[in-house]
């Protein structure tokens, strides 16, 4: 059977970890279609893994199998699981990496990966990506039923993903991700922004730094200007033209962001 299996890890490419996982999958199902979402998640950064996975997985066809391994607790009591949703399957550690999936998709069932028939003959304490998650994904791609992989369990661990909040005449949010280009991705969605601001005036701040305003594209920004833009994920980003806003401002994830309604004339755009 030809079936899409995506891979997201914090393994990088210096070592052979990603290659080993692909070798296991193809050894079980040579016709599997393997797609890399990312292997450059910062080591052990479960939140970043959850955000990148959620941003990409929705663009794949229904029935896709997503393997996500950002797993600082490998070898501990955390469970290996597979989550079946109305759109596909998610295979990985039960450590919160599927938190956004639980919000956005209808979960049909969750099982713990405990059946040794669908694991490597010898399971390492430090490489469950190769020995548990890759085989599970490969057998799913061959049509093995989810229930065969292990017993049903309650919905997995859910991380707290920061939400924007309204205080007086301002929406307060924070930076939840920094992408490769140094764009500071906030948790303020375009819908929330428009709902709060409407067509009125607004001011955007990150920490104590006033942002120049909203731009429709990166090219619209002036040289050395920090501005706001709604990126492809649908969230407000603090960005610069051909430069890293992260480096320029010296801030990263967790930095406070606020959008104020201006009581004075003059729409900032």
Q: What is the DSSP letter of 115?
A: -
Which is nearest to 7 in space by CA: 29, 30, 31, 40? 40
164 touches 193 (CB < 8 A) = no
On the question of pLDDT at 142 being above 50, the answer is yes
Say if CB 68 and CB 98 are below 8 A apart: yes
Confidence of residue 198 (pLDDT cuts 50, 70, 90): low
* Mean pLDDT, the chain, whole residue set: 91
**In which band, very low, low, confident or very high, does the pLDDT at 260 lie, cut at 50, 70 and 90?**
confident
pLDDT, tens digit, 9 for 90 and up, residues 2-38: 699 999 999 999 999 999 999 999 999 999 999 999 9
Looking at residue 37, the DSSP 8-state letter turns out to be: E
- In this prediction, residue 191 carries a pLDDT of 82
Res 232 pLDDT > 70: yes
| Tokens, residue 221 | 């920004």
> What pLDDT does residue 265 have?
44
Q: Give the global pTM.
A: 0.87
Distance CA(54)–CA(185), nearest Å, equals 14
Q: How far is CA 257 from the centre of its chain?
A: 20
Classify residue 87 by its DSSP letter: S
Of 13-22, 156-165, 216-225, which has the strongest mean pLDDT?
13-22
pLDDT given at position 92:
98
DSSP 142-210: TT--GGGGS-B------------EEETTEEEEEEEEE-TT--EEEEEEHHHHHHHHTTS-EEEEETTEE
pLDDT at 261: 76
Q: Residue range 236-240: average pLDDT?
A: 95
Which residues does 51 contact at the CB level (< 8 Å), separation at least 6? 100, 176, 177, 185
């Amino acid at each position: 059977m030809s079936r899409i299996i995506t891979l997201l890890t914090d393994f990088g490419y210096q070592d052979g970890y990603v290659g080993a996982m692909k070798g296991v999958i193809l050894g079980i199902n040579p016709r599997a279609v393997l797609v890399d979402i990312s292997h450059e998640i910062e080591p052990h950064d479960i939140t970043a893994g959850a955000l990148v996975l959620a941003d990409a997985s929705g663009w794949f066809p229904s029935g896709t199998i997503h393997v996500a391994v950002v797993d600082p607790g490998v070898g501990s009591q955390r469970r290996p699981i597979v989550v079946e949703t109305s759109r596909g399957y998610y295979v990985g550690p039960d450590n919160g990496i599927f938190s956004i999936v639980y919000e956005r998709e209808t979960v049909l069932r969750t099982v713990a990966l405990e059946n040794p028939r669908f694991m490597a003959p010898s399971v390492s304490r430090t490489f469950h990506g190769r020995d548990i998650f890759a085989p599970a994904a490969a057998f799913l791609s061959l049509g093995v039923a989810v229930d065969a992989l292990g017993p049903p369990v309650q919905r997995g661990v859910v991380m707290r993903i920061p939400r924007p909040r309204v205080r007086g005449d301002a929406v307060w949010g924070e930076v939840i991700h920094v992408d490769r280009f140094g764009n500071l991705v906030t948790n303020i969605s375009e819908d929330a922004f428009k709902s709060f601001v409407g067509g009125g005036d607004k001011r955007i701040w990150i920490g104590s730094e006033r942002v120049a305003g909203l731009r429709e594209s990166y090219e619209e920004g002036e040289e050395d200007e920090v501005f706001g833009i709604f990126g492809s994920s649908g969230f407000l980003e603090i960005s610069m033209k051909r430069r890293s806003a992260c480096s320029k401002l010296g801030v990263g994830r967790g930095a406070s962001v606020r959008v104020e309604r201006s009581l004075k004339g003059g729409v900032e755009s």
